Amino acid sequence: MNVLPNGEYGGTIAAMVRIDWATKVLARALAVLGLGALLCFAAMTIADGLLRFFFASPIDVVRDAGALVAAFAVACCLPVAIVERSNITIRFLSSIAGPRTGRMADVAAAILVEIILVLMTWQFVIFANQARLTGTATWMLRIPAAPVWAAVALILGISAVMQIVVGIKTLHGDYLGGHPTSAE
């Protein structure tokens, strides 16, 4: 396993531990960013309701940009589910066929997930490009949709890269987890 005599990791493993730690931090930061944006938008939604009710003066951007903010906010959460492997999985095979078979299935599943994420990224790049070419925008303030879909494509791309790390961890039986200090 490339473990140094003092219990720390060396070489490639040390690098992988750092990458694993960085992916976790990045994924969590993205989730906080996305939900933070959604919370800000929720505050604006309340302000819009109050202004509409008391002064008949709504905040146009709230109704206009809701769908785009939601898309960005939720897409920001996708990497954290990849990194923390919180997507719903039935671990029936591991329990009946043993951990070795279970891990082989996990590796195969990780490859399939990677393929789907790469395909999704590719398709969202096309989707964003089409939105740019057709000038898709919100109906009232004409906020362009393409940058949001490009951001979603970028986040999916990041998720695909993170899934590679998850796949390698799965292949090596999860011994790469931890904080980079363990590699120093």
Partner 1 sequence: MKVEEDDLQPAVIGALGIAGLFALILLQVPIGFAMMTVGVVGFALEGGGWMPAFSFLAQEPSYVLSSTDLAAVPLFLLMGVFASMAGFSEDVYRAAAAFIGHRRGGLAYATISGSAAFGAICGSSTATAATFGKVALPQMLARGYSPAFSTGVIAAGGTLKSLIPPSLVMIIYCVVAKTFILDMFVAAIVPALITIAFNLVAIAIVVRLRPQIAPVSARLPWKERLDAAWRAAPSLALLIGVFLGIYSGVFTVNEAASAAAILALLFALARRRLTWEGLVRGMYEAGSVTAMLYLILMAAPIFTYFINLAHVPDALVHWIDGHHFPPLGVIFTLTAVYILLGTFFEEMSSILITLPLILPIIVNLGYDPLWWGVICLIQVEMALIHPPMGIIVFLLHAIAPKISMGTIYRGVVPFLLADFAVLIILILLPGIVLWLPHALVH
Binding site for partner 1 (CB under 8 A): 27-28, 30-32, 34-36, 38-39, 41-43, 45-46, 49, 66-71, 73-82, 84, 86-94, 102, 105-106, 108-109, 112-113, 116, 119-120, 122-124, 126-127, 149, 152
Q: Cβ closer to partner 1: 118 or 168?
A: 118
Paired strand residues for 137? 144
3-state secondary structure 23-34: HHHHHHHHHHHH
Q: Cβ closer to partner 1: 110 or 183?
A: 110
Q: How far is the CB of 182 from partner 1 (least distance, A)?
A: 21
Cα separation, 146 vs 127, whole angstroms: 8
Q: How far is the CB of 76 from partner 1 (least distance, A)?
A: 7
Which amino acid, residue 52?
Answer: R
Q: Cβ closer to partner 1: 15 or 44?
A: 44
Three-class secondary structure of residue 108 per DSSP? helix
For the chain, how are helix, strand and coil distributed in percent, rounded to 5? Answer: 75, 0, 20
